[in-house]
Chain A
Amino acid sequence: MLSGVKAPFCPGCSHGSSVKYLSKALTECGYNPLDIILVSDIGCSGLVDPLFNTHTIHGLHGRSPALAMGVVLGINEPNKKVITIQGDGGATIGLQHILEASRRNIDMTLIVLNNLIYGMTGGQVSGLSTNDFKTDKRIPDNAPPFDVCQLAHQAGATYVTRVNNPKEITEKLVEAIKTKGFSLVEISSLCQPYGAKKLTQLAEWIEDEILLTNNHPVGQNISKETASLINEKHFIEPKYKSAIEGKVEVIIAGSAGGGVQSAAKLLAEAGIISGLSATMKGEYPITVGTGFSLAEVILSKKEINYTGLEQPDVAIIVTDNGLLKVQNKINKNTNLYIDSKVNPPENTNAKIFDFNKMAGKKGSALSAISLWIEESGLLDINALRDVAKKHKYGDVLLKAIDSSKDMLVR
């Protein structure tokens, strides 16, 4: 397992012996070096990768559990084992990744080398530094440490243990590596310059040993056959005629849940089935279930490049919410269809109808569009009926379209 490269650790550092325990454990589990992908990150603990003859990947501070999880999600060879090493600093900045891998019970082993401090940057405390350690070092921070073992266990990891006795490390690593699912081994470690210099001193500072197990399902990789999302039902063959010679810009304004977006889509499709180019843009608040709902449709004989719409030729307004959004875009030249419940804005030539009453809240916008089509003669109403029929709620939509007939004869 080991490359023979000399370990770069300070004399008396636990990391050197942890490397040997890990190598021994992997061999004991029957692995060859190239069965293993060793994932490491930044900090003294991250200096391990050249020491191993395995596959290695060395990334960013604290992110190795997430990087390792990506390897597990991507790998095809089921016999590969992913081993991750990080320090207590890495476990602090990357805690979310440990919880996520635990929650999904990803089949990998994480080793946290906890020497209670950030060694590479001068001995600062981490989220795993204990209060006994901080008090003895006169570090004014009495926030209790994270117990990374308890957290991983609560999140769903199959096997979690904290080892304080070096003699037990290999055995615990073997148990963890043999685990199917997420396993975590926290190894309490010495750091000569900044942390515990001897095991007796370490024993006074660290949390008690612990072993916790869960029996949750192991995270599975997903790979499915998929079909193209662009299929025959998207294709629209022109079969109607349109009287539109240039470009017609339509704005449809209503409220959430009022069928504005689907009515606009049908109008655009009716244009396409009539041999026109069409664009459609929706606008609504982030909270899609409330407030205004606005749609812009452009129908054009020529291909449409710019999809913006400054002054609509036609405006359909079925609620007050809708009016508020578009009132500054309409004037007396706008062909304006407005519901009788909405106060028509001044200086406009509004055509007022009972769209809501005649076609219901959900059908009002489509009813108004239908009336405009019938009155203007720019499209064949059967073009709109045709595209509506293909819709899941075709029957309901056709009723809304037909409701315009009563208004037309009035």
Chain B
Amino acid sequence: MKLVDSLRLRIATLFQRSEMNAEIEEELRSHIQHRADDLERSGLVRAEAERRARIEFGGHEKFKEECYEALGGTFIETLVQDACFSLRVLRKSPGFAIVAILTLALAIGANAVVFAVLNALILRPLNVPRAESLFGISRWSDKSPYQSYPDYLDLRDHNRSFDGLAACNISQAGLDTGDNPARVWLYEVSGNYFDALGIQPYLGRFFHASDEHGPNSAPYIVLTYAYWHAHFQDDRGVVGRTVRLNKHPFAILGVAPPEFRGTLLFFSPDFFVPIVNHEQVGGADDLNARGTHWIFMVMGHLKAGVTPAQAITDLTSIGSYLEKTYPQDDGQMSFSLARPSLAGDFGGRPIRAFVAGLTLLAGLILLAACANLGSLFAARAADRSREVALRLALGAGRVRILRQLFTEAILISLIGGAVGLWGSVVLLRGLSVWQPFPEFPINLAVSPDASVYGVALLLALASGFLFGAVPVRQIVQTNPYGVIKSGSTGTGGRRMTARDLLLVVQIAICAVLVASSMVAVRGLARSLHSSFGFEPRNVMLVDTDLSMAGYSSDKVPAMQRRMSDAMQTIPGVASVGLVDSPPLHMGWTTSIVFTDETTDLRPANAAATTIRFEVSPDYFRAAGTALLSGRTFTGHDDKDAPRVAVINQEFARKVLGSATNAVGRYFKRQDGTRLQVVGIVEGGKYTANLAEDPQPAMFLPILQSPSSETWMVVRSNRDPQQLAAAIKSRLRGLDAGLPSFIQTWNEAMNGALFGPRVATMSLGVLGVMGAMLSITGIFGMAAYSVSKRMRELGIRMALGAQRKEVLHAALGRPLKLLAFGSATGLLLGILASRVLAFIVYQATPRDPLVLAGVVLAMALLGLLATWIPAQRVLSIEPLILLREE
């Protein structure tokens, strides 16, 4: 209330200013008249009496101002006045204003973007009711969120901690709405998914637990709003329509609300289908396989009053029962809880580490910008010491002068913040619609919201106060008479001033940023040049899933054969191989294997967990994977022949002891099949992670373990576009209803390179910003020091100093500070390598190339920044200069 009242009074006084001034004026005049009356009575003539009265009264204008202030009328007015004055001052030095505003715009823009990402990924809860009690279940041992369907059912039915556990799996299928078959991404979800999450349909209805009656009993589809909008043009009549999914009829039940994009933040599906129809959708009958952990995420709301710790205890007790009851299938079954939005700790941990690192670096940028502007402001305050002294001498209060300087700082920070925010909004809008991978619906909704604007405003204000506070001491200590008498000579002292310290801090921060971006670039270069274990150049990958076109069991190998034969007939194709899922791509399969001597085939006794590929005989040639010893597969390694495998060296080392005599030996799979090793191939990178350690891998003949998921690896020197067109037409000739996706292998590897690329890009941007900041910082300092000492330098030159000596006198100090700051920054960078290692693969700032690069970069920056001031020093004409001053 009080605040409102006082604000109203202030606003009222603002408009009544002239009226109030007149009243004050009249009252003061009345006082003087009364006094003059008295003086006149004591014998003075009227004119003299009035003159005396006025003198006795004191500073008329000053008191008038004070009266006005006492009425509370000046707050807003002073603000407006200060703002106008600041604008005028800034207009007079546009160079300074532009540098300051750009510096801040960059820093605040970077922080706004990073905050928006942080907000979207980590701070903002998933868009479901009661998001704070929603948890996903991860295995405690490897943080993997995957579960098998029977395990899920046991956890769902026997826990006492959740209001309902829902399961959700990402899958891909072929959708045929009547004309053109298309590949779609969907969530296979348990019947209780929407009810457990508390989501209401936008249109039509959802499916429920009561719709599940065993395998393939619930052929229903719930569309996401986005897919309905984009592919059904908001047609409300879509509810009840029947479409074909992998050739099976499915009924569209309803549409999910627009704000619900599934339970993973970065993976928005096209629609939802019941998980009990997994055989039709996913192409494999995994519903009864307890040992196959394929369900991506199991999640639910904790019951009211149940803590996560209690829930973990509850789940783990079910887990230990499962461990005992099904030792063949279930390994260690203890659990942890994590937010489902980033796939639990599985994806959450690296993403959180990355975002935290980014936030830290962006904060450093802002700090460096503030240090930069602080020293610029201090320099300006020193330049304006004469103006300040004059104002002080004329009776201005120090508070009033400080207030004006702060207004100037805040004004700059607000303008800079606004520009930065505008830039970041543009960037974020772009980022929100950006799909890094054409084949996956991976996308992040980072559009700015109120909190982003709020944070930007707050940062702008805070940084304004921060760098505005730097020259305060200088102003407070100004002695007006001293400055006016002696002129602004500046302190020629050699002692380290606060300004110097600021510059060192700023350069150190910038050196850290430059170092980290170089580390990132090096890391990326190194990952790109490491050996993949295959040769992605001149290869087209053709992704098809035969189950999407209704092929099953025996029809699959025959079709695969026809497809690969058809590819062979394309002119210029050197070789064609088949693989169930190419290496270094999202999605891979692992199996546990046992030594030949093991008889008790429970997971705990496994010799290794290995990556598994099902490949055709020609795969190795088409992929360019080198055979080290033994043989690859032939067409005779079919389902009637003895089971064989090709392994890599790591597999041989781990399972068979050594690679030298591995060929011909046997190992076992979990179902007890014995496989004979027929060949050993080179190692490589298999999962979607370039940084992986050597992993065991085994290749099985696709004829012995059929897979309807088929990637064709087509090696050819032909132009990719022509080749893709030729491939497409051959496939259409074989089966027009088979959806396919054709890309070069290099394109397909984008997924694996995404992490390092994003890291390099963001660190690179931050590094460039750091470099720019250090340029403006050093430039400001050097230019200032030169302009301060012009007269001294002129005298030195007039007395016969050499140009080199003058240059040294003028720029030695900034360069010394630069060297000192860079050394500190480099040291800090080395100490911070642990932080960097979070963000970039193979990050090591101890790399001599990086070290040399940072030193070189900082030296270059110094050279660049001191170039103009140095030119100015060299162009000093002592005579003209001395005459002018």
A and B: interacting chains: no
